[in-house]
Structure 1
Amino acid sequence: MYLELSSKINEILQLEISNERKEVVQPLIDFIQSKVTSQQPIRINFICTHNSRRSHLSQIWAQTAAAFYGIENVFSYSGGTETTALFPMVAQTLKNSGFKVQTVLEGKNPVYAVKYGASEHPVIGFSKKYDDDFNPEAEFAAVLTCSQADGGCPFIAGAEKRIPITFDDPKAFDNTPLQEEKYEERSNQIASEMLFVFSQIKK
């Protein structure tokens, strides 16, 4: 894992998680633990309305947290109820945290490769619907990261489990002096909770 990212993770591990939020993420812990215990692949699809901010942060931090705690066979995905684009401030926030972010394809819906370690496979980030061919069709947990997606997706085909873990949208601070600070704050919260989830898994 990149040195700058490792030190950022150690900083994030000092953040306090309320008992209420620990209860919110417990179903995801249970899902991952059941897969580890039965030696099955762990597939998690993080779903939000636009697949532009929170779902990508969750996908990337979950994959990173799994690597940090040595939990193998974890495959994180993300999707939306509609396709837009990964918001540029998300890519910048990840870079600021120590990830290496490369733009693989430019355009209205750019494709990014996000790496957490020099020898690790990158996480591919771009906006897509949750049932896109890029994502798993079956045997996955659907984690709803925003209340709109939770309400707008009453049924997700192929999902073994549907888990609402919602986060406030940093979009509210776009084009304001607080934008960078609020994106970092949300990224840190998501990172902290994903790290907590994977820290609870018994191998």
Structure 2
Amino acid sequence: MNNILNEKLESILSLEISEERKAVLQPLIEYIKSKREKEQAIRLNFICTHNSRRSQFSQIWAQTAADYFQLAAQCYSGGVEVTACNERTIASLERMGFIVSKHGHSNPIYFVLHTEDSRPINVFSKLYDDVINPHTGFATVMTCSHADENCPFIPGAEVRIPVRYEDPKAFDDTDQEAAMYDERSRQIASEMFYVFSRV
């Protein structure tokens, strides 16, 4: 991790996770453990409606946590509609210390790195079954209630695990915008690090 991200991680790892949230996360922990014990690939596809906020935070923090604990997991994200990764999401990731480069315009691809020499995490809005996402042998992790309720079947998924988060979109264009995006980012980070620490 780079220095800024390391500093942020210290405070993130000190966040308390409630017993209720630990229970929500337990099926994800069990899935990863099971795949690891069987020496099978660990693939996680995080899904929310627009693939622009919560699923992107989840993919990036889960991949970062997996790399931190040196677990060979591959983390993806997708949606049920294509929009663009929200610029507020990217701004929050930059405040956390990630190195981000932007490529393209209407639905840009962002390369997100946690160290200068790490493998880039490719971030852009796409459908859950986009060609770059896994089509068999993966866990679907539903990060929003709308997608969870309106997308009842994900082809190829071995399991479907709801890990829902509140949408920071509610604070767009308010004076709380940056703080609430960072709060959601930190929550997701703390939970993904908890998940991978338990494996």
- Which bin holds the TM-score, normalised by the shorter protein? over 0.9
Q: Which residue pairs with 2:113 in the alignment?
A: 115
TM-superposed deviation, 1:76: 0.4
Q: Which residue pairs with 1:131 in the alignment?
A: 129
SS at 2:105 equivalent: coil
CA distance in 2, matches of 1:138, 1:117: 30
Residue 192 of structure 2, aligned match among 191, 194, 197: 194
Query: After TM superposition, where is structure 1 displaced by more than 6 Å over at least 4 residues in a row?
Result: none
Q: Which residue pairs with 1:8 in the alignment?
A: 8
CA distance in 1, matches of 2:142, 2:76: 12
Number of residue pairs matched?
Answer: 199
**C-alpha deviations, 1:151-173, integer Å up to 9, x for none?**
01111000000000000000000
Matched, 1:74 2:60: no
Q: Which runs of 5+ in 1 are unaligned?
A: none
Matched residue type, 1:194: M
Structure 1 residues 30-69: aligned runs within 5 Å:
30-69=30-69
CA distance in 2, matches of 1:35, 1:117: 27
With normalisation by structure 1, the TM-score equals: 0.96
Q: Which residue pairs with 1:92 in the alignment?
A: 91
Matched residue type, 1:4: I
Q: Which residue pairs with 1:182 in the alignment?
A: 180
TM-superposed deviation, 1:119: 1.9
Q: Which residue pairs with 2:159 in the alignment?
A: 161
CA distance in 1, matches of 2:5, 2:154: 33
TM-superposed deviation, 1:106: 2.0
Residue 169 of structure 2, aligned match among 155, 168, 171: 171
Matched residue type, 1:144: M
The alignment-based identity, stated in percent, is 53
CA distance in 2, matches of 1:181, 1:148: 24
With normalisation by structure 2, the TM-score equals: 0.98
